[in-house]
Chain A
Amino acid sequence: MPTYVRTDKCDGCKDEDKVYCMYICPHDLMLLDKDGSKTGHAMKALNQEPEQCWECYACVKACPKQAIECRHYADVVPLGASVQPLRKTDSIIWSIKFRNGNTKRFQFPVRTTPEGSADPYGGEPEANMDELADHGTLFTKSTHDCDLDQFIES
């Protein structure tokens, strides 16, 4: 159920600061063939190990040229369908085409804040090191005190 790269769309991220599919793939599957020695197509990416693909779509979502699609796994399902996303910074649009031509379309939010805006310790006070060995608290404090009525005496 692997991804593949369209020759006509992939430009090897030549104008980008990184090769997006290689950057993001959780399983090290995507590879840029810089000199074309592997594929006959210089500066195009490929999925080097399709049978290890989880079809997580990380590369599909990340590709700035929408050059990556899935052809669903040959040993399990018939040809003809497609499930393709368009991910924007705040939402994702999914287009589903069934083998029989029926279609469905969904849009869902992905993030409520701008990318890069997460503030890890925003608004939190400096660590009070006297609390370091206290198991009842992590630094965000809002924890539950043991309800000892429900504990077995030991």
Chain B
Amino acid sequence: MGWFNRRKTVFEDCDVLVVGGGMAGCGATYESKYWGRDLKVVCVEKANIERSGAVAQGLYAINCYMGMQWGENQPEDHVRYARNDLMGLVREDLGYDIARHVDSAVHKFEEWGLPMMRDPETGRYQREGKWQIMIHGESYKPIVAEAARKAADEVYNRIMVTHLLMDEAKSNRVAGAVGFNVRTGDFYVFRAKAVIICAGGASHIYKPRAVGEGMGRTWYAPWSSASAYALPILAGAKMTQMENRIVLARFKDGYGPVGAYFLHLKTYTENAYGEEYESKWYEQTKELVGDYIDSQPTPTCLRNHAFLEELKAGRGPIRMVTKEAFQDPHKETVGWENFLGMTIGQAVVWASQNIDPKHINPELTTSEPYVMGSHATCSGAWASGPADCAPSDYQWGYNRMMTVEGLFGAGDTIGGSAHKFSSGSYTEGRIAAKAAVNYVNDLKNEKLQVSEKQYQDLKTVIYKPLENYEVGRNEIVAGTVSPSYILPIHGLQRLEKIMDEYVGGISTNYMTNEPLLTRGMELLDMLKEDLDHIGAEDFHQLQRAWELHHRFLASQSVAHHTMFRKETRWPGYYYRGDFPKLDDKDWHCFTLSRYDRESDSWDLEKAPVHHIID
């Protein structure tokens, strides 16, 4: 009598299934239902879409807005900007596709009630920087979710999707997804013609700087548990740029954002002795990366690099000079709202440590690495591009379809399209949704086949941690130490330690090499064996167990990609000690991987980078 036999199974048959109800998922749900008025569109979310995903807390700026209505920027320039920032390697077709559509999404947000800041002189949206506009974004997510909820046929909250279902009538075609309700434990089987993965990227795959009570205060949300990558990886989809993890230079301990401080408030950084330090590292950086150091603006990773070198030279801490700007009461208000609107924890750190930036220049730090597809980084699934501008190497099917038929993605899920942020992720969701509707219509009456065996087998796997706990628990008197199982938190901390020490985390100053990676992968393989012995006391812990599984798969992918790329493309994000320089001759390319579930093996290959914009 296993745990899984006691649970109810709920079936939902639909045309378009959106997995994850963050910004990308809300965009996908919304656009799907417009084109697919007669189709059944379902969104499934592990939390509650009203406050889920990376924007749950709020956001103070929309970092991807062209302003085409006022002739401010053109999509072509955004492609150039993202390309420079990512040291030459972006999918220009995907980035262009988002940039040309993104403004219309922002206009909808305003229509639905998002308070936009406006320039008092021009009446236009208040610019924070060339691409960023400022908003009062405390309720950004609830507003966007409201429209998606009204558009969807059904939104399932509190269901964690663990695996995709595959069609048994045709190989390499998706047929839905399974998961469980994290409150009731009920098992959910979603049979769908098209699936759009809009799940979150990965926090907590590297050891964070705070490991006690404050471990949850990572820069990226702790609920971003790498489902964006694990779900496609398990389905055999090709992934790209998984080595391109991101490190953020942020205010210390709260990871409060610096964008508005640099761009709008015009604050600047200095070392402990009041000196400007970035220019000091120009020649050294040029040795490593060549002309990329001359790109304007300086690529994010290279600014991190100067920061790290200055610390290593013994001239830390690096501080943000706020004392001048904060004498202006308006700027002071902007500085505080920036945190209260999206990183309240930073306001808390300052209040607790008596740091008033009007009188004290606050410290900055660099975060542990994260894997995402939407910020100044572009890890994710390898997706087909738009037919009107994607080079033929990047086209094999519908727009944003992965290398698995019927499997689409957006936001953190899709690789190569950096700098999309909240508005671009939403827009990519819309783009993927329109293509998914087209795909479903083209399927016509073709029947997808999912046998009972397929989902029953998954059901057994999904609930196993509960059984492990129930069986093993009586061996021990009390406490968390069992010879038969480890708890999800134990597995998570082991994963973070391996990734930190062997795959370029904070404790090695982001440094790794082939011997370290080799050893790290051996340890990951042993952790994988132990993942069969995770014990979960209740459904909440079962959610943590599956978040760990997803983080593990993403981490393995990161390790393989990092091993494969034999250069240091993004100093400041990570370093290969055995290949310390950027190598355009051999590595001006994308890295692609595919995981084969049957043989438990990873295949890696290169794919060309095509520039479509001059």
B352 touches A81 (CB 8 A): yes
Query: How many residues in A have their beta carbons less than 8 Å from beta carbons of B?
Result: 80
Query: A28-B158, A112-B114 given as contacts; is B388 within 8 A of A135 (CB)?
Result: yes
Question: Which B-chain residue is minimally distant from A135 (CB atoms)?
Answer: B386
Which chain B residues numbered 213 to 251 have a C-beta less than 8 Å away from chain A?
213-218, 221-223
A77 touches B57 (CB 8 A): no
B100 touches A144 (CB 8 A): yes
Asked if B614 is at the interface of the complex by the 8 Å CB criterion, the answer is yes
Query: A26-B221, A132-B437 given as contacts; is B216 within 8 A of A51 (CB)?
Result: yes
B75 touches A144 (CB 8 A): yes
List, in ascending order, chain B residues with CB within 8 A of A41's CB: none
Q: Contacting A98 at CB < 8 Å: which of B74, B107, B351, B540? A: B351
CB distance from A97 to the nearest CB of B (A): 7
Complex Cα spacing A96 to B336, Å: 10
Query: A28-B47, A106-B333 given as contacts; is B68 within 8 A of A144 (CB)?
Result: yes
A76 touches B214 (CB 8 A): yes
The residue in A1, A85, A97 that gathers the most chain B C-beta atoms within 10 A of its C-beta is A1
List, in ascending order, chain B residues with CB within 8 A of A118's CB: 112-113, 143, 146-147, 150
- Can you name 29 A-B pairs with beta carbons within 8 Å? A2-B216, A55-B216, A70-B348, A72-B345, A72-B349, A79-B352, A83-B340, A83-B348, A98-B354, A102-B356, A106-B337, A108-B138, A108-B341, A112-B114, A113-B112, A113-B113, A115-B142, A119-B150, A127-B34, A132-B441, A133-B438, A135-B389, A135-B399, A138-B31, A140-B105, A142-B104, A144-B74, A151-B614, A152-B613
A138 touches B356 (CB 8 A): no
- For the side of the interface on B, what is the size category? 35 or more
Complex Cα spacing A51 to B212, Å: 7
Q: Contacting B47 at CB < 8 Å: which of A26, A55, A83? A: A26
A99 touches B345 (CB 8 A): no
A51 touches B215 (CB 8 A): yes
CB distance from A153 to the nearest CB of B (A): 10
Asked if B280 is at the interface of the complex by the 8 Å CB criterion, the answer is no
Which chain A residues numbered 109 to 154 have a C-beta less than 8 Å away from chain B?
109-113, 115-122, 124, 126-127, 129, 132-133, 135-136, 138-144, 146-147, 150-152, 154
B223 touches A55 (CB 8 A): no
Asked if B170 is at the interface of the complex by the 8 Å CB criterion, the answer is no
Query: A28-B543, A124-B34 given as contacts; is B97 within 8 A of A135 (CB)?
Result: yes
The residue in A113, A120, A147 that gathers the most chain B C-beta atoms within 10 A of its C-beta is A120
